[in-house]
């Protein structure tokens, strides 16, 4: 068991990412090795990496507000929203608020 406040964090850079920190909670080599779970903290004015990948990603917004671009569509997001990203769909989260945008991301299967 681990709390977000106790988990180590890593700066996420590249593909346009600014003010983004990843907080791994379950790594691929743990559990079944088919998916991972992490919290992502995007600071005010920050943007996640603009990217796509071959696996699904399920995101639950824990706090803050912002937007997510999924392919060509942009949607507002806030605490308690759920965002599903299908495989191979370009996506990027942007923090439009004045507090951290924090989301819980489950990614997989990655076999």
Range of the domain at 80: 10-108
Whole-number Å distance between alpha carbons of 67 and 94: 5
Whole-number Å distance between alpha carbons of 91 and 60: 15
Work out how many domains the chain is built from and give that number: 1
Residue at 79 is within a domain: yes
Question: By C-alpha distance, which of 21, 25, 27, 67 is closest to 40?
Answer: 21
Residue at 4 is within a domain: no
Q: pLDDT class for 76, splitting at 50, 70, 90?
A: very high
Q: What is the pLDDT of residue 26?
A: 78
Whether the predicted pLDDT of 42 surpasses 70 = yes
| Percentage of the chain lying above the pLDDT 70 cut | 97
Whether the predicted pLDDT of 59 surpasses 80 = yes
Where would I find the H helices in the chain? none
Whether the predicted pLDDT of 57 surpasses 70 = yes
What contacts 98, CB < 8 A, 6 or more positions away? 44
pTM score: 0.91
Q: pLDDT class for 111, splitting at 50, 70, 90?
A: low
As separate numbers, helices (DSSP H) first and strands (DSSP E) second, the chain gives: 0, 9
Higher pLDDT, residue 4 or 17: 17
Question: By C-alpha distance, which of 44, 38, 47 is closest to 8?
Answer: 38
Residue at 2 is within a domain: no
Structure tokens belonging to residue 5: 């406040």
Instruction: Please report, for the domain that includes residue 92, its CATH number.
Output: 2.60.120.10
């Amino acid at each position: 068991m681990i709390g977000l406040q106790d988990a180590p964090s890593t700066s996420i850079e590249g593909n346009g990412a600014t003010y983004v920190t990843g907080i791994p909670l379950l790594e691929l080599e743990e559990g079944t090795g088919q998916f991972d779970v992490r919290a992502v903290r995007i600071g005010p004015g920050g943007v996640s990496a603009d990217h796509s990948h071959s696996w699904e990603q399920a995101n639950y917004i824990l706090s803050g507000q912002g937007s997510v671009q999924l392919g060509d569509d942009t949607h507002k997001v806030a605490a308690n929203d759920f965002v599903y990203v299908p495989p191979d769909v370009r996506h990027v989260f942007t923090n439009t608020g004045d507090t951290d945008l924090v989301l819980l991301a489950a990614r997989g299967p990655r076999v």
